[in-house]
């Protein structure tokens, strides 16, 4: 369940990859200087030189500080634009996470169920099992509808069929409580991290 804007993510990755590939190709050709690339490299160098001379040819007069070179002003403007774009990009990440997994309206008012309730019903019974190291429940809005992800980390050598049956029982109990099976629950059996492996060895001893 990806809660971020996938189109924007791919666009940023595409632009960053294209910029890195272009810069790397230019540096490689500049160092090797093959015969077939001599003319375009000379044209590119002339263009960059003309731009640099044009930027350095103008300056901004500031009271009390003298004249500020145009190259410095342009560099500051580029840095500000990059910083704003970075802040906007970071601010749009993870916007799909939600805390309310169920909302029902009735004659007496509105009833909402928090993620902590779903976590207690779905992940709580699994945390007490000996073969389970950790179990966590997350929720996000996918296509304007809530969906949940149940992540389980099991010990090495655990019987996965028993863990899956326990997860099915917990999911069935959640469906009975919620009164609707329309909320999808994605089960993810996660791999152990280095810290989980250390904890598993310590507990076995």
Structure confidence by residue, pLDDT tens digits, 48-86 = 667 666 666 666 666 665 666 666 667 678 778 887 877
**Same domain assignment for residues 86 and 182:** no
In this predicted structure, what is the pLDDT of residue 204? 36
* Total domains, the chain: 2
Q: Do the beta carbons of residue 131 and residue 163 sit within 8 Å? A: yes
Helix (H) or strand (E) run with residue 190 in it = strand 185-190
50 compared with 126, residue with greater pLDDT: 126
pLDDT of amino acid 48: 65
Examine the domain organization and report whether 38 and 80 are in the same domain.
yes
Q: What's the predicted TM-score (pTM) here?
A: 0.51
Confidence at residue 38, expressed as pLDDT on a 0 to 100 scale: 81
**pLDDT over threshold 80, residue 91:** no
Confidence grade of residue 30 (pLDDT, cut at 50, 70, 90): confident
- Asked whether the CA dihedral 106, 110, 114, 117 is positive or negative, the reply is negative
Pair 59, 114 in one domain: no
Q: Is residue 1 part of a domain?
A: no
Are 142 and 1 in contact, with CB atoms under 8 Å apart?
yes
pLDDT attached to residue 42 = 81
Whether residue 154 sits in one domain with residue 76: no
Q: Calculate mean pLDDT across residues 92-115.
A: 78
Task: Render pLDDT for 160-196 as a digit per residue (tens, 0 to 9).
Answer: 899 999 999 999 988 888 876 678 888 988 866 555 5
Of 56, 91, 126, the residue that ends a domain is 91
- Of 37-51, 99-113, 142-156, the one with minimum mean pLDDT is 37-51
Q: Which domain holds residue 158?
A: 100-204
Side-chain half-sphere exposure of 99, counting CA atoms within 13 A: 2
Residue with tokens 């500080």: 65
- Last residue of one domain, picked from the residues 28, 63, 91: 91
Of 68 and 127, the one with more pLDDT: 127
The CATH number of whichever domain residue 123 belongs to comes to 3.30.70.1350
Q: Are residues 110 and 154 in the same domain?
A: yes
Dist. CA 124–CA 137, nearest whole Å: 9
Average pLDDT over residues 98-120: 85
Distances (CA, A) of 134 to 2, 38, 119, 125: 21, 60, 12, 11
């Amino acid at each position: 369940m990806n809660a971020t804007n996938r189109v924007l993510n791919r666009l940023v990755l595409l632009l960053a990859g294209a910029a890195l590939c272009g810069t790397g190709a230019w540096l490689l050709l500049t160092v090797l200087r093959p015969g077939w690339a001599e003319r375009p490299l000379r044209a590119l160098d002339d263009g960059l030189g003309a731009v640099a001379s044009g930027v350095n040819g103008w300056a901004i007069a500031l009271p009390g500080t003298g004249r500020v070179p145009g190259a410095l002003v342009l560099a500051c403007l580029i840095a500000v634009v990059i910083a704003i774009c970075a802040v906007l990009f970071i601010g749009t990440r993870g916007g799909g996470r939600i805390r309310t997994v169920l909302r029902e309206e009735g004659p007496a008012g509105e009833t909402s169920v928090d993620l902590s309730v779903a976590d207690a019903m779905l992940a709580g019974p699994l945390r007490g099992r000996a073969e389970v190291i950790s179990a966590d429940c997350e929720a996000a809005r996918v296509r304007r509808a809530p969906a949940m992800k149940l992540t389980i980390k099991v010990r090495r050598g655990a019987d996965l069929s028993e863990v899956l049956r326990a997860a099915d029982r917990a999911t069935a109990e959640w469906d009975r409580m919620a009164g609707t099976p329309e909320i999808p629950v994605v089960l993810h059996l996660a791999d152990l991290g280095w810290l989980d492996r250390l904890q598993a060895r310590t507990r076995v001893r």
